[in-house]
Amino acid sequence: MAAVLLPTFAYAVDDEPATTAPKSEVACDQLPFSIQLTVKNVKSSAGLVTVDLHGDNADQWLKKGGRVGRVRVPAVARQTEICIPVDHAGTYAFALYHDKDSNLKLNKNWLGLPSEPYAVSNNAPIRLGPPSFKDAALQVAGPHTAATATLSN
């Protein structure tokens, strides 16, 4: 797993196979626990949107090995809807990126900064370090827990 530098913080990504998300809202509704994510500011339908789900462990937030799930879906221009299955009720946070070229990696520029759009849950602010788990956390108590994230650039 290679670490990729986002503005002022490292975020672990790899080329691990994608988890298949339920394809319809009916399937998402049938899950006992899920997040219905709306990703905004998707510039094109090229590529994939990759979402890494993190559980209730602030020490593992955005760290190698800290992810509890991953979902990859085809990008849909302007707004992409994603159902993220979760194992149980609790506190979760997620990080995502638009993999425009479908190479299963977050591309970066010569400075090591992301060259593909990214976001975290609750649009938690990314300033001089990673967003805090507390700022990114959301409570999942049942199916179809609503969440929104807006991609950078």
Domain-embedded: residue 19 = no
Q: pTM of the entire structure?
A: 0.81
Residue 137 has pLDDT above 70, yes or no: yes
pLDDT at 27: 66
Domain-embedded: residue 34 = yes
Domain-embedded: residue 135 = yes
**Residue 41 belongs to domain spanning:** 2-13+24-150
Domain-embedded: residue 46 = yes
Q: How confident is the model at residue 132 (pLDDT cuts 50, 70, 90)?
A: very high
pLDDT digits (tens, 9 = 90+) for 35-58: 999 999 999 999 999 999 999 999
Q: What is the DSSP string of 10-73?
A: EEEE--PPPBPPPSSHHHHHHSSSEEEEEEEEE--SSSEEEEEEE-S-GGGTTSTT-EEEEEEE
Q: How many domains, in total, are found in the chain? A: 1
Domain-embedded: residue 36 = yes
pLDDT digits (tens, 9 = 90+) for 79-88: 999 999 999 9
